[in-house]
Structure 1
Amino acid sequence: MEASGMLSFTNIALLILLVACAYIPFWIASKKTIKSTYVGLSMLFLGVIVSFIPVDRFKVFKISGDEFAQNAARSKWRYFLNSNVTNYIEEHPGMLVFGAEKETSGENQSYPFLRNEDTKDILGTYFQKSSSVPNLVIIVVEGLGHAYSSPSGYIGNFTPFIDSLSKKSLYWENNLSSSGRTFSVLPTLTGSLPFASHGFLEQDTLPAHFNLFNILKANGFNTGFFYGGNSKFDFMEKFMTYSKVDTLVDQWSYAEPYKKLPEKGGESWGYEDQAVFAKMLEVQKVQQTPYFHLLLTLSTHNPFLINNAAFYEKLFDKRLALGDLTPDRKKWALQNRKQLVSVLNLDDALQQFFRDYQKRADFANTIFIITGDHAMPEIPLESKIDRYHVPLMIYSPLLKAAHTFRHKVSHFDVTPSLLAFYRNNYQVNTPGQVTWIGRGLEIGASAKGNGAAMMQSKNQLIDFVYGDYHISDGQLYKLDATLNEEPLSEGSERDLLIKRFELFKRQNKQFYTKKQLLPDSIFKNYFKQTISKP
């Protein structure tokens, strides 16, 4: 907790002040005797009622501004009880068995997500055909939100290299992560997997499933995961062990001259991004067989302490001095200086990674994907959707031309499209039946598909996007072409989204109640047939 910055002097002081403010009225009341019992009971009853009033639902009290201000206006007692009651019911689905039987008629209650694989290959037309199967490298950047990694973000572009690379890439401007924290990015991005109760990897035993790691490994790829921190965090190691990756690099794999991030309170999150990138280039030698590696960065994590901070502080000042930021954007940037300095550090490390990669013979035959796991919650969010709005780009020397896509997609759509590309162009054997949540990057979260659910935290499955609409904790929003959103009143669109969202939650509940995604025969036969092929 100290490394994350939660146990700071400010937070402790605020906690003491809160306790004092709650205690003092009771202390004063204890010194005076209220003669009428009815007065005391009335005040108690009034206090309880007020605690549950959803003030944010009244237009008179409607709170505008960023998400922090909106959350501050919520009834905390109402939120606490709603959240815990919902969690208890979801973890004890038998309580609603009669209603569920009626609602799920006509659905595959044994394997609700199982379907035939029919994802179209939309990537192949943008690539030159290679004489050998291309390598795949996915880079997941901690806290990389659209707000500060794009010229159109509400703070502005603080990733000049990533922005320049996006202009040479296949770039999805309106991409959504699947959660507000890191816990879901690996199963979602590489497996298009459901959330289960508190995140797919939180399950005691991972059910049999397909993902990029085990499918590509079965097709002769070397696989690896590179991280600068503790891979036991969020059960990443468990996922990699299940997937039988060939190489797992985490904080215990480094030695000098690799550098750890600076400590706070005697603790460090792990090794800096420069170390993770360099380690991958050191470990992965140039070889004839293809490889797939996923790198997860760390330096942009709270408390945003980086090495060589003075250098990146100067870069930040130079960035503001360019004069292209509006007064509002400049104000945003100055208020979040520490976070954005760490973003500039990440961008610089990524640029050096590509410079070093270009010197290798295998660079020309490698496909790179860059995305964020979620936006930084430490930077105030302009709207609810901003927590999930992250860049997604595919870059490769094999690309014929760059292209920017403006329809809405999510991390759920990445694996289905990648495997369709490898299947259609390089005869990679993929399963005939799958449990992908996403419909691929062609369809994404559009009304042609099933929409995209997003889990804000491990206890909050409250966000859903379908077409041009977003529902968050019961409130409906209309999304424009750049993912700006405006609240809407009750209407048919809200009913449609609730119906779609409830269908997903019902299927998700059926899955984690049974703890099985697909029949064992489908899973085992795929690997038996694929590995036995010459």
Structure 2
Amino acid sequence: MYRFRFLPNRFALISLFFCWFLLCSFLLRIAFLAWQFQEVSLQPGHVLRTLFTGFIFDAVAASLVLLPAIIYFALYPNRWVGKRADRVITYFFFGLTVFIFVFSFFAEVTFWEEFRSRFNFIAVDYLIYTHEVVANIQESYPLPLLIGGVLLVTLFVVFIGLRRGAFSQAFHSKATGTQRIAVFAGFVLVALIGVFGLDNSDAEWSPNRYHSEISKNGVYSFFAAFRNNRMDFNEFYTTVSDERAFSLVRGKLSAGNVSYELSGKSIKRHIKDSIASVAKPNIVVIMVESLSAKFLTTFGNDTSITPFLDSLAGQSVFFENMYATGTRTVRGMEAVTLSIPPTPGQSIVKRPGNSNLFTIGQVFSARGYDNNFFYGGDGYFDNMNAFFGGNGFAIYDRGRGSVLSDDIKTTRHNIEDQEVTFENAWGICDEDIYRKMLKVSDEKYAAGKPFFHFIMTTSNHRPYTYPEGKVKIPSGKNRQGAVQYTDYALRQLFKDAAQKPWFKNTLFVIVADHCASSAGKNEIDVANYHIPALVVNLPGHLNRSIPTQCSQIDLFPTLFGLLHWDYQSNFFGQDVLGSRYEPHAFVATYRKLGYMKGNRIAILSDQKKQSFYRWDKKNDALRPLPMDKGFLEETIAWYQTADFLFLNGGLK
């Protein structure tokens, strides 16, 4: 019989789990290195450091996971060891723990496939919104086969424990008091080091992002993200004085047509147009899920999956060089509606205190518009209903019984079953949400009310399912098929809308929330933030390309400029066509805050670190640059003032 010598015999199952966890984590790390074979460095030193760093995080994660078991084995009285209660508790929790972590290893593989990252904020969000996530897994993967595989691996690990005598040792051995104290103290020490002496960012030793991500442990990363869902800018990032930050930003936002309402720590101002048009065209914003610029033939794609969007590019105000601020839908919503750089940690859409803010909806409300938010799923997901409802939008979604909180004073309309022809885990298909929008538009037009609609689509999302027979690529096959269906649904929308009496007086704004994938080997892969944006049906501007580098936050300030509107602004975005506009873009993750001007990019990281690069657009590579104090201060100023205003009520 094999005897587990790593710990005293009473703790044999702890030894077994610890070794099994380390082995699986090691094999998973090897698999990820092989997966990204062409992107990682194969220099022996780099590979060894990846594996060694990973081993440290694996050992800490295993120690943290095992703490409840350690407490049990250390405190359970010797006279009851091996009795029925001890056996039932041990078998049940050992099997359950192994099952959970086998499943987590499988989950890490699917998460890596989608995001090329260890568990992060997205995984934490997914744990909260279980309905959508479980349904998505069911529709994307053969769940019975997956669960069956996890169960088989679990039974195999239990069998090894039985075969090698780990259970027998645990049930027939009694630990001395000294042994109990030593084992307990050892694991607690490692756990304390893991919690207070180790940070997930310590794994980010390499300029190659893949090496840093592979060095992490998924379990540790998950709980690190859960713990750090909000990051205080002043605590984690390099700062300047608030006075200096606001002075810089106010200077950047100044122009001949700008007059500030307040001095000091505010960007509230009046934008005055020389024409000051009173026109009130209807506005329909279509935020398209995961629409990377690289999908369009206009940007070099050779698969012809977006023929309609490509045709619109030549018949619209077309932003050729716009960049998303982040990598999540809520970041896109935040950028477009609030016109603000991304704050570190969670998006404002998901944070407390996000009601009654100054959004683009207020600009429309001041002109008598009726504001509406359309989403094909349950808007409870990602806090969308709370954000839009708390900022004056009526809600149209698939409620599934979820309710708005009592403090949100808005109207909510459920999209009924008879209005749905196709639905998957994330919501109804694009054609259905567009038909609902058309119906509501008819009602608003009949009531003589100009309308502003914000639509969030869902079809271009895993599991990539949509109505059959619409496009050549079968439903559920791949992302390309979903993009093709997205394009098809837009074509049908414009075909149907063109028959409406309100169409000629309606502008359509099409913009992506983020790219289909943001991951790459760089700290921030700039190419994976490039998105298309179009304004369609704007009289006098039917064929106008804007090549200027700009950000998602500049979309509506530019549109208001094209409409020649006077308006109050509390936006960080600017009119890209203004004479004093300096081309720039914000590109960020939840921890790394990037600011790009031309081909230079500064990146602020937590732990008060910063780095500077020159972006080689052709190869999507970042070449290190020396520190530039002026560029650093400007980068800090944008992000610091945005964070300050939200936390101190300055975005109202």
Tell me, in whole angstroms, the C-alpha distance in 2 between the residues paired with 1:150 and 1:74: 37
Deviation at 1:194? 4.7
Secondary structure of the residue aligned to 1:398 is coil
Give the equivalent residue in structure 2 for 1:301: 461
Q: Deviations over 1:233-285 (max 9, x none)?
A: 2222122223323x42111422354336454xxxx222111111111111211
2:573 corresponds to 1:438: yes
Distance 1:200 1:442, change over 3 A: same
Tell me if structure 2 keeps the 8 A contact 1:367–1:395: yes
Secondary structure of the residue aligned to 1:299 is coil
Give the equivalent residue in structure 2 for 1:172: 319
Distance 1:471 1:351, change over 3 A: same
Tell me if structure 1 keeps the 8 A contact 2:203–2:216: yes
2:440 corresponds to 1:283: yes
Secondary structure of the residue aligned to 1:515 is coil
Q: Deviations over 1:294-337 (max 9, x none)?
A: 111111122212221x553x2589xxxxxxxxxxxxxxxxxx95
The correspondence of residues 91-490 of structure 1 with structure 2, limited to 5 A, is 91=232, 93=234, 103-108=241-246, 112-118=265-271, 133-153=280-300, 156-196=303-343, 197-206=345-354, 208-245=356-393, 247-252=394-399, 253-259=414-420, 261-263=422-424, 268-285=425-442, 286-287=445-446, 288-308=448-468, 311-312=470-471, 314-315=472-473, 338-377=478-517, 384-396=525-537, 398-422=539-563, 424=564, 430-431=567-568, 434-442=569-577, 448=582, 451-456=584-589, 459-471=590-602, 476-479=612-615, 485-490=620-625
Amino acid at match of 2:267: L
Give the equivalent residue in structure 1 for 2:136: 4
Tell me, in whole angstroms, the C-alpha distance in 2 between the residues paired with 1:237 and 1:223: 13
Amino acid at match of 2:575: G
TM-score for the superposition, normalised by structure 1: 0.70
The correspondence of residues 17-32 of structure 1 with structure 2, limited to 5 A, is none
Deviation at 1:164? 0.6
Tell me, in whole angstroms, the C-alpha distance in 2 between the residues paired with 1:186 and 1:51: 30
RMSD over equivalenced CA pairs, Å: 4.7
Deviation at 1:487? 1.5
Larger radius of gyration: 2
Deviation at 1:193? 3.1
Give the equivalent residue in structure 2 for 1:528: none
Q: Deviations over 1:438-478 (max 9, x none)?
A: 1222269x9826x433343xx43433322322345655443
Deviation at 1:411? 1.3
Tell me if structure 1 keeps the 8 A contact 2:245–2:636: no
Tell me, in whole angstroms, the C-alpha distance in 1 between the residues paired with 2:338 and 2:304: 30
Distance 1:420 1:56, change over 3 A: same
Tell me, in whole angstroms, the C-alpha distance in 2 between the residues paired with 1:477 and 1:149: 28
Distance 1:70 1:305, change over 3 A: farther
2:650 corresponds to 1:510: no
Secondary structure of the residue aligned to 1:209 is coil
Tell me if structure 2 keeps the 8 A contact 1:111–1:516: no
Tell me, in whole angstroms, the C-alpha distance in 1 between the residues paired with 2:267 and 2:546: 28
Give the equivalent residue in structure 2 for 1:35: none
Tell me, in whole angstroms, the C-alpha distance in 1 between the residues paired with 2:231 and 2:204: 26
Tell me if structure 1 keeps the 8 A contact 2:536–2:542: no
Tell me, in whole angstroms, the C-alpha distance in 1 between the residues paired with 2:271 and 2:152: 57
Tell me if structure 1 keeps the 8 A contact 2:614–2:624: no
Secondary structure of the residue aligned to 1:368 is strand
Tell me if structure 1 keeps the 8 A contact 2:326–2:342: no
Distance 1:475 1:148, change over 3 A: farther
Percent of paired sites with the same residue: 20
Tell me if structure 2 keeps the 8 A contact 1:187–1:201: yes
Amino acid at match of 1:367: L
Tell me, in whole angstroms, the C-alpha distance in 2 between the residues paired with 1:194 and 1:53: 23
Deviation at 1:215? 2.1
Distance 1:119 1:455, change over 3 A: farther
The correspondence of residues 35-50 of structure 1 with structure 2, limited to 5 A, is none
Higher relative contact order (CA 8 A, sep 6+): 1
Deviation at 1:56? 7.7
Give the equivalent residue in structure 1 for 2:60: none
Deviation at 1:405? 1.8
Distance 1:75 1:477, change over 3 A: farther
Tell me if structure 1 keeps the 8 A contact 2:243–2:265: no
380-389 vs 463-472, which moves further: 380-389
Tell me, in whole angstroms, the C-alpha distance in 2 between the residues paired with 1:214 and 1:232: 22
TM-score for the superposition, normalised by structure 2: 0.58
Amino acid at match of 1:272: C
Higher helix share: 2
Distance 1:83 1:216, change over 3 A: same
Tell me, in whole angstroms, the C-alpha distance in 1 between the residues paired with 2:359 and 2:306: 30
Tell me, in whole angstroms, the C-alpha distance in 2 between the residues paired with 1:214 and 1:131: 16
Q: Deviations over 1:466-507 (max 9, x none)?
A: 232234565544346x786322123245x5544333223322
Q: Deviations over 1:100-151 (max 9, x none)?
A: 6x63344559974514344879xx9xxxx99952211111111111111234
Tell me, in whole angstroms, the C-alpha distance in 2 between the residues paired with 1:338 and 1:315: 8
Deviation at 1:514? 2.0
